[in-house]
Amino acid sequence: MNLEDLADITEAVAAAAESRRHCVRVCMAASCQSCGSGEVLEGLQTQAKQNADDGVCIKPVGCMGLCSAGPLVSVDSDQPATALLYQDVTVDDTEDLYHSLGDQPVERLRCRTDVPFFARQQKVVLENSGIIDPEQIDDYIAAGGYRSLMRAVTEMSREEVLREVKESGLRGRGGGGYPAGLKWATVAMAPEPHKYVICNADEGDPGAFMDRAVLESDPHRVLEGMALAGYAVGAEHAYIYIRAEYPLAVERLKTAIKQATKKGLLGRRICETALSFEVEVRLGAGAFVCGEETALMASIEGRRGQPRPRPPYPAEEGLWKCPTLINNVETLANIPAIVGKGGAWFKSIGTENSTGTKVFALAGRIANSGLIEVPMGIPLREIVHEIGGGIPDGRRFKAVQTGGPSGGCLPEQFLDMPVEYDTLRSAGSIMGSGGMIVMDETSSMVDVARYFMEFCMDESCGKCVPCRAGTVQLYGLLDKIADGEATPSDLELLEELCDVVQATSLCGLGQTAPNPVLSTLRYFRHEYEEKLRPESERMPRMQIVTLDD
Partner 1 sequence: MSEAHKITLATAWLDGCSGCHMSFLDLDQRLIELAEKVDVVYSPIVDTKELPPVVDVGILEGAVSTEEDLHKARMFRGRCQFLISLGDCAVSGNVPSMRNTFDLDDVLDRAFVENVQAQPGRPSESLPTLLRTVLPIHHVVQVDLFVQGCPPSADTIWQVLTELMAGNTPDPTQFTRFGA
Partner 2 sequence: MTHPPAATNPAPKVRVVTLKIDDHDVGARETDSILEIAQANGIRIPSLCYLDGLSTWGACRLCMVEIEGFSKPVSACSTTATEGMKITTNSARLKRYRRMILELLFAERNHVCSVCVSNGHCELQDLAAECGMDHVRVPYRNATYTIDSSHDLFRVDHNRCVVCTRCVRVCDEIEGAHTWDVMGRGVNCQVITDLNQPWGDSQSCTSCGKCVQVCPTGALVKKGTAAGEMEKHDDFVPYLAQMRKRQ
Residue 369 CA neighbour count, 13 Å, CB half: 17
* DSSP string over 14-39: HHHHHT-SEEEEEE-SHHHHHTTHHH
The span from the CA of 492 to the CA of 192, in Å, is 51
Question: CA distances (Å), 358 to each of 40, 170, 283, 433, in order?
Answer: 31, 11, 26, 9
Give the H or E element holding residue 412.
Answer: none
Q: Which is nearer to partner 1, 413 or 543 (CB)?
A: 543
**Which does residue 237 touch among partner 1, partner 2, none (CB within 5 to 8 A, set by kind)?**
partner 2
The span from the CA of 239 to the CA of 250, in Å, is 13
Q: Indicate which single residue of 311, 544, 548, 549 sits in contact with partner 1 (rule: CB under 8 A).
A: 544
Q: Report yes or no: 136 and 142 within 8 Å, Cβ to Cβ.
A: no
Please list every residue from 124 through 183 that binds partner 1, using CB under 8 A: none
SS3 label, residue 131: coil
The span from the CA of 53 to the CA of 51, in Å, is 5
Q: How far is the CB of 450 from partner 2 (least distance, A)?
A: 16
Please list every residue from 484 through 543 that binds partner 2, using CB under 8 A: 493, 496-497, 500, 503-506, 540-541, 543
Q: Indicate which single residue of 304, 396, 525, 538 sits in contact with partner 2 (rule: CB under 8 A).
A: 304
Please list every residue from 484 through 543 that binds partner 1, using CB under 8 A: 489, 535, 538, 540-543
Q: How far is the CB of 468 from partner 1 (least distance, A)?
A: 19
Q: Report yes or no: 75 and 101 within 8 Å, Cβ to Cβ.
A: yes
Please list every residue from 255 through 274 that binds partner 2, using CB under 8 A: none
The span from the CA of 194 to the CA of 539, in Å, is 60
Q: Indicate which single residue of 21, 258, 269, 308 sits in contact with partner 2 (rule: CB under 8 A).
A: 308
Q: Report yes or no: 64 and 27 within 8 Å, Cβ to Cβ.
A: yes
Q: Which is nearer to partner 1, 96 or 495 (CB)?
A: 495
- Does position 472 interact with partner 2 (CB under 8 A)? The reply is yes
The span from the CA of 393 to the CA of 63, in Å, is 26
Q: What are phi and psi of 196, to 5 degrees?
A: -130, 150
Please list every residue from 171 through 200 that binds partner 2, using CB under 8 A: 192-194
Q: Which is nearer to partner 2, 362 or 509 (CB)?
A: 509
The span from the CA of 202 to the CA of 287, in Å, is 9
Q: Which is nearer to partner 2, 407 or 476 (CB)?
A: 476
**Which does residue 247 touch among partner 2, partner 1, none (CB within 5 to 8 A, set by kind)?**
none
Which range, of 259-267, 356-364, 397-405, 468-476, touches partner 2 by CB under 8 A?
468-476
The DSSP code for 387 is I
Number of residues in the chain: 549
Orientation of helix 445-459 relative to helix 465-482, angle to 10°: 150
Q: Indicate which single residue of 465, 485, 495, 533 sits in contact with partner 2 (rule: CB under 8 A).
A: 465
**Which does residue 8 touch among partner 1, partner 2, none (CB within 5 to 8 A, set by kind)?**
none
- Does position 309 interact with partner 2 (CB under 8 A)? The reply is yes
Binding mask 350-389 for partner 2 (x = CB under 8 A): ----------------------------------------
Kindly determine how many residues on this chain lie close enough to bind partner 2 according to the rule CB under 8 A: 50
Which range, of 214-222, 418-426, 428-436, 472-480, touches partner 2 by CB under 8 A?
472-480
Provide the binding-site residues for partner 1, judged by CB under 8 A: 489, 535, 538, 540-544
